[in-house]
Structure 1
Amino acid sequence: MEQRSWAPLWAALGGDPALPERVRHIRRGGAAGLLPARLPVAELARSAVAVCALAAAEWAACRTGGAVPAVTVDDGAVATAFTSERHLRIDGRPASVFAPLSRFWRTGDGRLRTHANYPHHRARLLAALGVPGSAAGADGDGDGPVEAVAAELAHRRAEEVEELVCGAGGLAVAVRTPGQWAAHPQGAAVAGLPLVGHGRLDGAPPPPAPPGGDGGPRVLDLTRVIAGPVATRTLALLGADVLRIDAPHLPESADAHADTGFGKRSAPLDLGSPFGRRTFEELLAAADVVVTGYRPGALDRFGLAAGELAARRPGLVVAELSAWGGAGTGPWGGRRGFDSLVQAASGIAVAEAGPDGVPGVLPAQALDHGTGYLLAAAVLRSLTDRRRYGGTHRVRLSLARTAHWLLHELPERTPGSESGPGPADAPGGHDPAPWLAGTGSPLGRLRHALPPVEYEGGPRTWARPPGLPGADEPVWR
């Protein structure tokens, strides 16, 4: 496997420079149709999985004291995993992905992208635009007043709406070209970040050997939607005890949980209550990793900023995921965001536009999935370094920085490669069947993508299917 895309990333993570030679790249299922795009999406996907799988193999060797096993990166498995939500079936039913108000819109001066999958984001969008939530929708399914929103946006400026909706706590971005994003203060700030922020906060001693053998790290998962849950789903595959914590009042997509909840347990916990805070502190006292993916700063009032966590639990690995770079990074660093919005703002939607100029999308939510595997890789490398040398570790990633990697740093696609314009399900393209499996679960019979992280002697699927959201107790196994 050519290493020019990911070997420098492995080095930036502090990995042994000899280990990339342990990675073997294979193509099965046909080269054509694998994540087809104008941008090098397939290269992003295989690079993210390669560093994650190598970090997993290194961590396995660290736990057992053996040699680092050989790693396989299979393009078919990678492409299937990066579109896992599209392949998911729950008792034969496909998963719901985007709500009617999550889409591109024409404005008076260009295009706008909105995200309104959650009821509270939908309500904020409509309130900011002055559109009644009960307005009749062109979609006819009662889920969104599409015609009313379209009429309202037709005479407005995209950047004006962007600020208006954001100020109301909603989600909207103007569609920009790559050049416009590079000139934007947020684009410039993100470009100055490392792809994966990774370092030690202190010199805490290495953790003691677990009594009775290594049962795997304990991971507190405070993430939502795709990128963070993909990372923690990967850690669960590799033997971590992952406990997802959700606020009881926040809605979550049952379909998203079915896709990314494999291997984990899920518990509701109100951190604003005395019981919730006390329970969380008990969990933190025995945790190895905390992963956060909420809007930057949203959890600080609960004492969950990296420095405060490190002070209370020396030796912890703190992993922080954001959309736009994190608090203190440019004017948008603390804003909410999702993959689709970052694609639109960063210039990806314009780069993938069709001949008619209509903004395009990547063949997968590749910023989410790619950032998720990079996040898991950084956590695994931190766990390995912590066991060897000690320290409290901090990991930081953002969807916007992954977008910059795709647009400006990955090798350009070469003619005849497996990427190229066209629909992901084009005839004669990628057949995902070899990388899909059926599993019974409390949610129903699931057809799902198998994990792409593969090394010799490693697990090929998760030890448990996803359970019902919030059905578990907030305790460690």
Structure 2
Amino acid sequence: MTDLLTSIQAALGLPRTPIPFTSSGALPSAFAVTDLACASMAAAGQAISELLHQQTGRLPPLEVDRRLASFWFATSLRPIGWSVPPLWDKIAGDYETHDGWIRLHTNAPHHRSAAEQVLGHCFDRSAMAAKVARWAKSDLEHAVVEAGGCAAEMRSWQQWLAHPQGLAVNAEPLIHFTTNDGGASTTWQGSVAQPLTGLKVLDLTRVLAGPIASRFLAGMGADVLRIDPPHWSEPGVVPEVTLGKRCARLDLHDATDRAVFETLLKDADILLHGYRADALERLGYGTAERQRLTPGLIDVCLNAYGWSGPWQNRRGFDSLVQMSSGIAEAGMGWKQADKPMPLPVQALDHATGYLMAASAIRLLAERLRCGRGGSARLSLARTAKVLIEHGAGTDEPLRAENQDDQGLLIEQTPWGPAHRLHAPLKITGTPLQWVLPATELGSHRAQWW
């Protein structure tokens, strides 16, 4: 745990201060998933603590509960009398080709359409399996990606280390920070209880890392406005990740909506986006244009496979990066299974989300000091390297020091009441607390409060 935490602290420019972790045990996995959960949450908490130290002279202590951190890396919500829709499309998943395994990601309708453009229409997994079995894994991965879909063949860590994209992303820093000369307000409007009060966060992210980041920022008092395209839906994760936010829709191909978006961006303090590296540029909102519209903007960017190399513009998700980078192959060996074995939770997404939040807070602290904006770039594949190189976890089961640690916080959501688990991160005097319950996408107007 110490090595993992100090690596993350170094990447964020945080003091290498020990942070206590309460309770014990870990999620069963080939890798130290619970350690990653605790370290990434601790880093976000430490970024807040250091911000408070800078603004008030007081450095509040913090701690992370290992058991609760593990739960939050799966889901923090326990519905009462209703169910969250399935996370996966019916034909999404791992399939055996004639020379190995491949994963197809078909949750979005256009991604499923791309896969079926290559393989033909399939009503169920058995029909899809029969079609996939005729292919070589590399050929199928290439064909689906070329069609605009999402797929990843299973590689080992050694194969990933030798792959052109693996070589590229593994040479990148965990977090790439840059600063710009744009001027911005240097007045802190927050408080010890809500350090990010007064900050406007424009959230353009979707499943799953970016929404985790903005959920954390909302829990620290920020005004988070999430923007989705007109018809986007992700019902399996919305109740989990919209906590504390307002959610609106805009079509950035429509002139009227673009004008609304630009008005929002001009007033934003922080922009979170998880588009592929070239996507905002193609929409006319590249780095230079964002800085022109919003001098002093804090710009936090995420992609799947990194910011250099042949795959920097490739579509990707946590489950695909696990296949590409050797995580699923290592899990297969660890479990002595006959098929890929991913992590027990989407740990790359969750951990990268907390690192995005920590990056935004570190850039905010710099802006308050110097009046300069800045940017941070992160990727799921680079987070994977940190997890893999940290090594194996423990098989010790999760145990609570306090049997009431799950809590019974009632949240009234649009789908019905639910229990929300207590937050794993505790900062003395600065509780994670959300004013707004989770909500449907598109349920608010595209405007700041």
Aligned AA (1:59): L
Aligned AA (2:406): W
Structure 1 distance, partners of 2:289, 2:401, is 47
Which one of 19, 25, 29 corresponds to residue 21 of structure 2?
25
Q: Which runs of 4+ in 1 moved over 4 A?
A: 210-214, 428-433
Structure 1 segment 233-272 matched on structure 2, within 5 A: 233-249=215-231, 251-272=232-253
Change beyond 3 A, Cα 1:101–1:60: farther
The alignment status of 1:152 with 2:152, answered yes or no, reads no
Aligned AA (1:175): M
Aligned AA (2:164): P
- Following superposition, the deviation at residue 95 of structure 1 comes to 4.2
Aligned AA (1:92): W
Aligned AA (2:121): P
| Structure 2 portions without partners, runs of 5+ | none
Residue deviations 1:397-452 (CA, integer Å, cap 9, x gap): 100111111112x2x336xx3568xxx9xxx8999972353311223212333433
After alignment, is 225-234 or 87-96 more displaced? 87-96
Which one of 71, 95, 113 corresponds to residue 105 of structure 1?
95
- Following superposition, the deviation at residue 330 of structure 1 comes to 1.1
Aligned AA (2:320): L
| Map of 1:7 onto structure 2 | 6
Aligned AA (1:241): D
Structure 2 distance, partners of 1:295, 1:305, is 12
Aligned AA (2:299): V
Change beyond 3 A, Cα 1:299–1:431: farther
Residue deviations 1:350-374 (CA, integer Å, cap 9, x gap): 1101313321010110000010011
SS in 2 for 1:392: strand
TM-score, scaled to structure 2: 0.92
Structure 1 distance, partners of 2:338, 2:440, is 43
Structure 1 segment 37-116 matched on structure 2, within 5 A: 37-63=29-55, 65-84=56-75, 87-89=77-79, 91-116=81-106
Residue deviations 1:64-105 (CA, integer Å, cap 9, x gap): x241211111112211111116x5426432442222211111
SS in 2 for 1:352: helix
- Following superposition, the deviation at residue 16 of structure 1 comes to 4.1
The alignment status of 1:277 with 2:258, answered yes or no, reads yes
Structure 1 distance, partners of 2:68, 2:400, is 14
Change beyond 3 A, Cα 1:315–1:276: same
CA contact (8 A) 2:95 2:132 kept: yes
Structure 1 segment 286-297 matched on structure 2, within 5 A: 286-297=267-278
The alignment status of 1:435 with 2:406, answered yes or no, reads yes
CA contact (8 A) 2:84 2:239 kept: no
| Map of 1:138 onto structure 2 | none
Structure 2 distance, partners of 1:301, 1:74, is 43
Aligned AA (2:259): R
Structure 2 distance, partners of 1:212, 1:404, is 35
Count of residues in Structure 1 that have an aligned counterpart in Structure 2: 442
| Map of 1:400 onto structure 2 | 381
Which one of 313, 316, 329 corresponds to residue 337 of structure 1?
316
CA contact (8 A) 1:35 1:363 kept: yes
SS in 2 for 1:7: helix
SS in 2 for 1:434: coil
Q: Percent identity?
A: 36
Structure 2 distance, partners of 1:433, 1:308, is 50
Change beyond 3 A, Cα 1:430–1:363: farther
SS in 1 for 2:237: helix
TM-score, scaled to structure 1: 0.87
| Map of 1:142 onto structure 2 | none
The alignment status of 1:324 with 2:305, answered yes or no, reads yes
Structure 1 distance, partners of 2:88, 2:401, is 23
The alignment status of 1:163 with 2:142, answered yes or no, reads yes
| Map of 1:141 onto structure 2 | none
| Structure 1 portions without partners, runs of 5+ | 136-144
